[in-house]
Amino acid sequence: MVPFSHSLLVAALLFGMGLFCLLTRRNLIMMLLGIEVMLNAGALAFVAASLHWQQMDGQAMVLFILTVAATEVSVGLALIVALYRRTGSVDPDPPADRQLAAQAGEGGV
Amino acid sequence: MMSSPPIEVVLLLAVALGLPLTAFGVIMTLTRSQPRVSAIISLGAIAVAFGASLSLLIAHWGMPTPLVYEITWLVAGELPIPLGVLLDPTSLLMLTVVAAISLLVQIYSLGYMAGDPGFGRYYGCMSLFAWAMLTLTVSSSLIQLYIFWELVGLASYLLIGFWFEKWTASEAGKKAFVMTRLGDTAFLLGLILLWLNLGDLSIAGLNDPQVADRLSPGQLTLAAVLIFGGIIGKSAQFPLLTWLPDAMEGPTPVSALLHSATMVAAGVYLFARLFGFFSLSPAVMTLCLAVGTLSMLLAASMALVSRDIKQVWAYSTISQLGYMLMGLGAGGFTAGVFHLTTHAGFKALLFLCAGVLIHHFDTNDIFRMSQRGSRRQRLTLVCLVIGAAALSGLPPLSGFFSKEMILAHLAVHAHPFWLAAGLLGSFLTAYYTFRLIFVLLRPAAETPSDDAEGHHHSEPFGELCMAAVLVTLAGLTVVLGFGQGALTHFLSAAAGAPPPAPAHHLGWLPVVVLTLTGAAIVAAWWEFARQKRSETGWVDRFPTLATLFARRWYLDDLYRWLLDRVVYGGFSRAFTWNDQRVIDGGLDGLGQTVIDWGAISARLNRSQIQFRLMVLFAVVAVLVLYLAFA
């Protein structure tokens, strides 16, 4: 049987990887994926806790999380597709600000 | 007193007060475009209402105490506002007079207004007018009276401005409305003052002499003066008298109704209604006497030079209302109310005769009328002479008795100055009245065929209606004076009326009055009717005086000046400045501030969403660590 601390560690690692993906990728789809990974890290921690304390509440919570995640992904993806159709871009920052950022990047940093 | 009323009284009241309102509603919503149906509905309603009020009058003839029936209409806080009727001799008499004059005027209008595009609307407004005035007369509390007081004002506004496509007519309507509103504001303030101090506005309660114990003398006088302000506005007394001559822009039957039984009579009626209350304050009674006298003389002087028949009658109305207030102010309750009653009859007669002449000759100018042959309108002129003689106070017509009562009262109870003013007034009245009559009686300058210009060929039925009404009113004018004894006895039981004063038989007074009246008539005849007439009145020999009278003592100019300087120049400018600078500027400034702050925070929050997210996570992580370990 996997120790409780190991599963928590895996969950923390997954959460950190999702966060890293969310913060660094400059693509809305990949950011959404990062969010999903973070969400599932939380779900994993719930399952581990449920196993550790022999309580079914954690598992029930996970089922809720999966349902919400499914709907959230579909809505999020639809929004991103709509945004792409309108602007031709999946960049998280608006175009004008991208230019500003680019200039700032050229100037200093 | 607060017993539940007998069923027949309820029925009669419901009929008298409900039917004209129903007629108004039905005409305005359903039958406005059908003149014949509208006229039948309105006439039927007012005829039944007249029958009901007449039977009420007869049923209550000689009743011992006034009857009050009230129901609670609504409750404001702790104070119930009642709605009800107060039946006493004054209100019953007035109810009958109003219903009778309304009925006659509406019959007359069948001929006068025939073919007018607004015929249905006219009858609708007439019903509204009649309903408002009828309910006003029987109101049991001042709140209710005030509501109908304003409704009367509204109805007269609608009717004065009936031909609203004419600029002067709509202006006259506005003037009447605004000027009476000035008085009504004072009235309302007086009501509020009384309400705050007494908590009771029932008419019976106010006429109780105990009111004097519950109010300080200052408050009592102030409240009475404020309410008297409403009377000044409504009854066109000095200084708010110039709206009435302008109000003749409406159809002539409307003027007849307005001047005799409804609008202007409401003011004097209110004074009679609250006679007991006003008598508690001698200062206000003196004020009433003074205002009445001043208006009476001013208006009579204006009538001396007017060439417009309706204007002459309008001035005479103001002057007769002044007489009524003089009588009431001197403490002569029955004299004032009796003159109100007789005046309603003969003033309606005079205006309706004028209406026939105007209808026929298509001009308001008496000199033009006589040129076009007013002499040939025999029936109308006979009625006109009867009315004019009543107005001048010639026996045996009704005006003689009522004016005599007022003057006798002045002679006994007031300073000789007021009596002298009253006598001067009756001289002027007789002069201007017979000036008009003699001018109209002159032989025509043009041939009979010449009066075709503007001649309205009205149907014979309409002519018949008008003639019948004239004859009825003339008959009333002749007969009514002989009812003096009965009416005086009847009225002396009224709420707030003093015990009937012992009849003063001043043998010299009628002689003096008749001498003066006779002299005035002779003077008018000398100037306007004899063979070698000069055609100029004595006033016209003094051009300054004539101009002063014709310009209404420059009262209108004074109002114009006040309006321009104080209202437009002072208040309007201050308010405009306040509106543009303070209110608009404040709102604009507020909006601009929000926009500016929004721009600043938007600049702070733009772009780099992932960077912000990272900061967010870092802060949350640090917070969690801090909370977990610190």
Option in B606, B614, B617 nearest A97 (CB): B606
Q: Does B614 touch chain A (CB under 8 A)?
A: yes
User: Do B608 and A93 count as a contact with CB atoms less than 8 A apart?
Assistant: yes
A98 contacts on B by Cβ (under 8 Å): 607
pLDDT at residue B64 is higher than 80: no
B614:A100 CB<8 A: no
CATH architecture of A4-107: Orthogonal Bundle (1.10)
Which of the residues A93, A98, A100 would you substitute to probe the B interface, choosing the one with the greatest number of B C-beta atoms within 10 Å?
A: A93
Cβ atoms of A91 and A28 within 8 Å: the answer is: yes
Nearest to A93 among B609, B614, B617 (CB): B609
DSSP B157-204: HHHHTSSTTSHHHHHHHHHHHHHHHHHHHHHHHHHHHHHHHHS--BHH
d(CA B560, CA B564): 6
pLDDT given for residue B533 in this prediction: 66
Nearest CB to A101: which of B607, B614, B617?
A: B607
Q: What pLDDT score does B382 carry?
A: 84
Instruction: Give the one of A19, A92, A100 whose C-beta lies nearest to B609's C-beta.
Output: A92
Residues whose CB falls within 8 Å of the CB of residue B390, separated by 6 or more in sequence, listed in order = B342, B345, B346, B349, B397, B398, B399, B400, B477
* Cα nearest neighbour of B617 on chain A: A19
The 3-class SS string of B64-120 reads: CCCEEEEEEEEEECCEEEEEEEEECHHHHHHHHHHHHHHHHHHHHHHHHCCCCCCHH
**CB-CB contact of B231 with B322 (8 Å):** no
Query: Which residues from A are below 8 Å from B617, CB to CB?
Result: 19, 23
B605: contact with A, CB 8 A cutoff: no
Q: Which residues have CB under 8 Å from B320's CB, separation 6+?
A: B296, B339, B343, B347, B391
Which tokens go with B235? 């009854």
Segment B197-209 shows an average pLDDT of: 79
pLDDT confidence tier of residue B117, bands split at 50, 70 and 90 = confident
**Are B261 and B133 contacting, i.e. CB atoms less than 8 angstroms apart?**
yes
Residues from chain B that touch A19, judged by Cβ atoms under 8 A, are 617
Q: Are strands B79-87 and B67-76 parallel, antiparallel or unpaired?
A: antiparallel
Which residue is listed with tokens 């006659």?
Answer: B104
pLDDT band with cut points at 50, 70 and 90 for residue B476: confident
Q: B20-34, B336-350, B434-448, B469-483: which has the minimum mean pLDDT?
A: B434-448
Distances (CA, A) of A26 to A14, A17, A34, A87, A90: 20, 15, 12, 15, 8
Mean pLDDT of chain B: 81
pLDDT at B370: 76
Q: What is the pLDDT of residue B162?
A: 86
Using a CB-CB cut-off of 8 Å, the residues of chain B touching A24 are: 610
Task: Give the pLDDT mean for B298-320.
Answer: 85
User: What is residue B381's predicted lDDT score, i.e. its pLDDT?
Assistant: 83
CA B540 and chain centroid, separation = 31
Please name the residue of chain B whose CA is at the shortest distance from the CA of residue A26.
Answer: B610
- CB contacts of B606 in chain A (<8 Å) are 97
Count CB atoms within 10 A of the CB of residue B188. Answer: 18
Contacts of B610 in chain A (CB under 8 A): 22-24, 26, 31, 92
Q: Which of A23, A24, A93 sits opposite B607 (nearest CB)?
A: A93
> Inter-chain contact A24–B609, Cβ cutoff 8 Å?
no
Q: Is B607 on the interface with A (CB under 8 A)?
A: yes
> Residue B505: pLDDT above 70?
no
Confidence of residue B91 (pLDDT cuts 50, 70, 90): confident
Alpha-carbon distance A57 to nearest alpha carbon in chain B (angstroms): 24
**Which two tokens mark B108?**
């007359």
- Residues 6 or more apart whose CB falls under 8 angstroms from that of B447 comprise none
- For residue B338, the model assigns a pLDDT of 86
Question: Which of A67-81, B391-405, B551-565 shows the lowest mean pLDDT across its residues?
Answer: B551-565
Say if residues B256 and B207 touch (Cβ distance below 8 Å): no
Does the beta-carbon distance from B610 to A94 stay under 8 Å? Answer: no
CA distance B197 to B63: 33
CB contact under 8 A, A22 and B610: yes
Which pLDDT score, from 0 to 100, does residue B481 have? 76
Render pLDDT for A20-49 as a digit per residue (tens, 0 to 9): 999 888 888 999 999 999 999 999 999 999
Average pLDDT score over residue span B602-622: 82
Q: Is the pLDDT of residue B552 over 70?
A: yes
Q: Number of A to B CB contacts under 8 A, please give it.
A: 23
DSSP state of B568: I
Helix pair angle (B217-234, B282-303), 10° resolution: 20
For B208, the 3-state DSSP assignment is coil
Cβ–Cβ below 8 Å for B610 and A23: yes
Distance linking the first and last C-alpha atoms of chain B: 85
Mean pLDDT along residues B292-314: 85
Interface contact flag, A26 B607, Cβ < 8 Å: no
Cβ–Cβ under 8 Å, residues B243 and B263: no
List, in sequence order, the alpha helices (H) in B247-377.
252-260, 263-273, 275-279, 282-303, 309-329, 333-361, 366-371
ipTM here: 0.73
Q: Which amino acid is at B282?
A: P
Question: Which residue is it, tokens 């002044």?
Answer: B322
B610 touches chain A (CB under 8 A): yes
| DSSP string for residues in B342-360 | HHHHHHHHHHHHHHHHHHH
Structure tokens at B584: 């608009």
Of B70, B133, B71, which is closest to residue B259 (Cα–Cα)? B133
Of B132, B144, B237, residue with least CA distance to B183 = B237
- Cβ contact (<8 Å) for B607 and A24? no
Chain A contact present for B571, CB below 8 A: no
- According to DSSP, the residues that pair with B69 across neighbouring strands are B85
Closest among B283, B319, B290 to B304, alpha carbons compared: B319
Task: Name the residue of chain B whose CA is nearest to A21's CA.
Answer: B610
pLDDT of residue B37: 85
Which are the contacts of B417, defined by CB distance < 8 A and separation ≥ 6?
Answer: none
The reported pLDDT for the residue numbered B5 is 67
Question: Would you call A101 and B608 a contact, using CB atoms and an 8 Å cutoff?
Answer: yes
Cβ-based contacts of B603 with chain A (< 8 Å): none
Torsion of CA B473, B474, B476, B479, to 10 degrees: 180
Weakest mean pLDDT among A12-16, B26-30, B367-371, B576-580 = B367-371
The continuous run of DSSP H or E covering B424 comes out as: helix B416-441
3-state SS assignment for residue B338 = helix
pLDDT at B550 over 70: yes
Confidence of residue A63 (pLDDT cuts 50, 70, 90): very high
Q: In this predicted model, what pLDDT tens digit does every residue of B358-385 receive, in sequence order?
A: 888 887 787 777 777 777 777 888 888 8
User: Which residues of A lie inside 8 Å of B (Cβ-Cβ)?
Assistant: 19, 22-24, 26, 31, 92-94, 97-98, 100-101
Mark yes or no for CB contact B617/A92 under 8 Å.
Answer: no
pTM of this structure: 0.73
Q: Which residues of chain B make contact with A94, given a CB cutoff of 8 A?
A: 607
Tell whether B613 lies on the interface with A, counting CB pairs under 8 A. yes
Tokens 């309410």 -> residue: B227
Whether chain A has a CB inside 8 Å of the CB on B595: the answer is no
CA B231 to chain centre: 9
Taking the Cβ of residue B604 and every Cβ of chain A, the question of whether any pair is shorter than 8 Å is answered with: no
User: Cβ–Cβ of B608/A97 closer than 8 Å?
Assistant: yes
Residue of B486, B160, B472, B513 whose CA lies nearest to B345: B472
Q: How many angstroms separate the CA of residue B609 from the nearest CA in chain A?
A: 7
d(CA B341, CA B324): 10
pLDDT in tens, B462-475: 788 888 888 888 88
Q: What is the pLDDT of residues B436-450, one digit of tens each?
A: 888 888 776 655 544
- Nearest-neighbour CA in chain A from B591: distance (Å): 27
Decide if pLDDT at B61 tops 90. Answer: no
Min mean pLDDT across A1-5, B21-25, B309-313, B563-567 is at: B563-567
| CA–CA separation, B337 and A20 (whole Å) | 100
Contact in structure between B194 and B228 (CB atoms under 8 Å): no
pLDDT at B346 over 90: no
Which chain A residue has its CA at the smallest distance from B608's CA? A93
Distance between CA B327 and CA B425 in Å, rounded? 13
Structure tokens at B556: 């209108």
| Residue B3 clears pLDDT 70, i.e. is over it | no
Of A23, A31, A100, the CB nearest to B607: A100
CA distance B403 to B301: 19
Residue A100: list chain B partners with CB under 8 A.
607
What is the pLDDT, as a whole number, of residue B453? Answer: 42
Query: How does residue A64 score in pLDDT terms, banded at 50, 70 and 90?
Result: very high
Angle (CA) B535 B537 B543, round 5°: 110
Contact A22 B608 (CB under 8 A): no
Of B81, B281, B83, nearest in space to B200 by CA? B81
CA distance B259 to B344: 8
d(CA B271, CA B284): 11
Residue B201 clears pLDDT 50, i.e. is over it: yes
Share of chain B above pLDDT 90, in %: 4
β-bridge mates for residue B139, sequence order? B85
Q: What is the percentage of chain B residues whose pLDDT exceeds 70?
A: 91
- What's chain B's length in residues? 630
Average pLDDT over residues A57-80: 92
- Phi–psi pair at B239, nearest 5 degrees: -95, 15
Contacts of B609 in chain A (CB under 8 A): 92-93
Out of B606, B607, B614, whose CB is closest to A23?
Answer: B614
Q: What is the pLDDT of residues B129-159, one digit of tens each?
A: 888 888 888 888 888 888 888 898 888 888 8
Q: How far is A9 from chain B (nearest CA, A)?
A: 17
Whether residue B91 contacts residue B138, with contact meaning beta carbons closer than 8 Å, is answered with yes
The answer to whether residue B257 scores a pLDDT higher than 70 is: yes
Question: B24 to each of B29, B51, B120, B235, B403, how far by Cα in Å?
Answer: 8, 19, 10, 25, 36
